[in-house]
Amino acid sequence: MKSLPLLHVALLRLLLVLGMSSGAALAQETTLQEVLKDKAVDDFWHYDSLDSAMAKAKETGKPLLITIRCVPCKACLGMDSKVVNPTDPELRELMNQFVCVRIIQAWGLDLSLFQYDMNMSWAAFFLNSDRVIYGRYGTRAAQRDDSAITVPGFKKALSKSLKWHQRYQAAPEEVAKEFAGKRGPAPRWKKTEDIPAIPKTVRWDKKLGRMTAQQTASCVHCHFVPAAEMMGLMSLKEPITDRHLWAYPLPESIGLSLDPKEMATVSKVFSHSPAAHAGFKVGDEIQSIEGQPILSIADVQWALHRTDDEATINVSIQNATGTSKVTLRLPKGWRRNGEFVERTSSWDLFKVKLLGIAKMQALSAEKRAAAGIAEGEMALRVEKLAPSWGGINKDARVAGLKEGDVVVKVDGKTNIASHSELLAYLVQEKSSGDTLALTILRKGELDLIKIPLKWDHRIQALRTP
């Protein structure tokens, strides 16, 4: 074989170089940020890389600010844009004192570290390289009202975290003990992908996995995780508690509203609530709950989440008269003051796979009177049945349940007051293979509908084709 002329060799080398350059350019164009169109991210962020950020924090001695963001979700977009590319000079200066991390997917998430209300599309953690958590920021209320999280409140949380970090650097063992309550017990599954239902879930013909520039259609959303955890527990015949269902209670559940522009300052106290009986007043600043330092509404939700279903807790407050203690007595069932069916995580499991009812509403006093149902008696109207999605759950429809039916008894019980309580009854008192008997009122006539419960095969994965 003859050797190639020198000119041909030179041309081949040039083509190789050009090919490598175009390949590199293509790789640049197909980064995860580009695919997600997440372009406004400032260059000081460690993008979807906790390990590099931890190493940087250890090297510099800075604390970490970690935001967890579902990029496609519109909820919390305003707050996210203000933080991810800060134009507020004070906010930027505060954030410059942190190593900043932007996590954009739940696959690989360390559930022993990141324990928070995952029913929201933006959340923040403040911690150090020793994994001591100073606090959380963000609240589920922002999913329906953007004003529930604010830059002023966030800046106050950043500032307080920096002060706590300075204390930690001076006395790490002492401060670590003070903040030990910010970490919960070891979770049932350490990482998201360890939960049985997650790796078996298929969306858009792709199994859930780590999102990359080459594979982006099957992202693990944060709200998948609480549902998958409960499905895993049910598969193992382990109990589902009120803490699982009514997780991370909002302050309203104990009778408080907090000012989103402050850290945890009371803006309203509801009459006849546990908070009112305890003596909370407008203007009270919550300093700690059971000795756990508080810097945000998210911290209050975390402390309430870790509280027992019937408890007496001590709260330290500060106001114009100084610092004092408030004793908050929470009666049995206090968590149930809120609804869990409003959360995104309730859709796949509770609304589709267990019963197939998308929405139920308690009848108003006027409609009760018209139907001849006394005040206080059970009356839940089926507003909307869930789509069957190829038969994922059409049992309620096949059994004869219709939109507009009013459920007045469940297995003969009349003390179930909400859609959430009905679904809680299912997972806490019933098993797959049982039958659910609903006494319904339809066009003035009572009828009995028996629905076979067949969820064992449905809870192996969140979604399948």
Residue-wise pLDDT tens digits, 248-281? 999 999 999 999 999 999 999 999 999 999 999 9
For the cut 50, the answer to whether the pLDDT of residue 137 exceeds it is yes
**Identity at 311, one-letter amino acid code:** A
For the cut 50, the answer to whether the pLDDT of residue 292 exceeds it is yes
pLDDT band with cut points at 50, 70 and 90 for residue 7: very low
Q: What is the pLDDT averaged over residues 119-148? A: 95
Q: Report pLDDT digits (tens) over 175-205.
A: 999 999 999 999 999 999 999 999 998 877 7
Q: Which residue has the tokens 């590099």?
A: 52
State the alpha helices, DSSP H only, in 203-355: 224-235, 242-245, 274-278, 297-305, 346
Which residues lie below 8 Å from residue 194, measured CB to CB, with a gap of 6+? Answer: none
For the cut 90, the answer to whether the pLDDT of residue 462 exceeds it is no
Domain 354-456 carries which CATH code? 2.30.42.10
Q: What is the pLDDT of residue 48?
A: 93
442: its two tokens: 């339809």
* Percent of the chain clearing pLDDT 90 (strictly above): 74
Q: What is the pLDDT averaged over residues 202-219? A: 79
Q: Report pLDDT digits (tens) over 313-337.
A: 999 999 999 999 999 999 999 999 9
Asked if domains 28-239 and 354-456 share a fold, the reply is no
Report CA-CA distances (Å) from 33 to 28, 102, 108.
10, 11, 18
Look up residue 63 and give its DSSP letter.
Answer: -
What is the torsional sign of CA 297, 350, 430, 229? negative
Q: What is the pLDDT of residue 30?
A: 73
Look up residue 364 and give its DSSP letter.
Answer: P
Q: Which residue has the tokens 């629905």?
A: 451
Q: Is 103 helix (H, G, I), strand (E, B) or coil?
A: strand
For the cut 90, the answer to whether the pLDDT of residue 1 exceeds it is no
Q: Report pLDDT digits (tens) over 73-99.
A: 888 999 999 999 999 999 999 999 999
Q: Is 423 helix (H, G, I), strand (E, B) or coil?
A: helix
For the cut 70, the answer to whether the pLDDT of residue 143 exceeds it is yes
Query: Over the Cα atoms of the chain, what is R_g?
Result: 26
- Give the C-alpha separation, 334 to 316, whole Å: 21
pLDDT band with cut points at 50, 70 and 90 for residue 212: confident
pLDDT band with cut points at 50, 70 and 90 for residue 50: very high
Q: What is the pLDDT of residue 321?
A: 93
For residue 329, list its beta bridge partners: 312
For the cut 70, the answer to whether the pLDDT of residue 106 exceeds it is yes
Most confident of the following: 124-133, 210-219, 343-352: 124-133
447: its two tokens: 């009828």
Strand ordering across the sheet containing 285-289: 292-293, 285-289, 311-319, 322-330
Left (φ > 0), alpha (ψ -120 to 50) or beta: where does 379 sit?
Answer: beta
Report CA-CA distances (Å) from 108 to 50, 51, 208, 317, 464.
10, 12, 11, 38, 21
The domain locations on the chain are 28-239, 251-336, 354-456
Q: What is the pLDDT of residue 214?
A: 77
Look up residue 418 and give its DSSP letter.
Answer: S
Q: What is the pLDDT of residue 151?
A: 98
Q: E strands along 130-255, which residues?
A: 133-137, 202-203, 206-207
For the cut 60, the answer to whether the pLDDT of residue 360 exceeds it is yes
- Residue scoring higher pLDDT (214 or 274): 274
**DSSP count for the chain of H helices, then E strands:** 15, 18
Closest by CA position to 285, among listed 338, 321, 331, 253: 321
Closest by CA position to 253, among listed 301, 306, 287: 301
Q: E strands along 87-164, which residues?
A: 99-103, 122-127, 133-137
User: CATH homologous superfamily for 28-239?
Assistant: Glutaredoxin (3.40.30.10)
On the CB side of 346, how many CA atoms lie within 13 Å of its CA?
23
Q: Top-level CATH class of 251-336?
A: mainly beta
For the cut 90, the answer to whether the pLDDT of residue 230 exceeds it is yes
Q: Is 112 helix (H, G, I), strand (E, B) or coil?
A: coil
Q: What is the pLDDT of residue 215?
A: 67
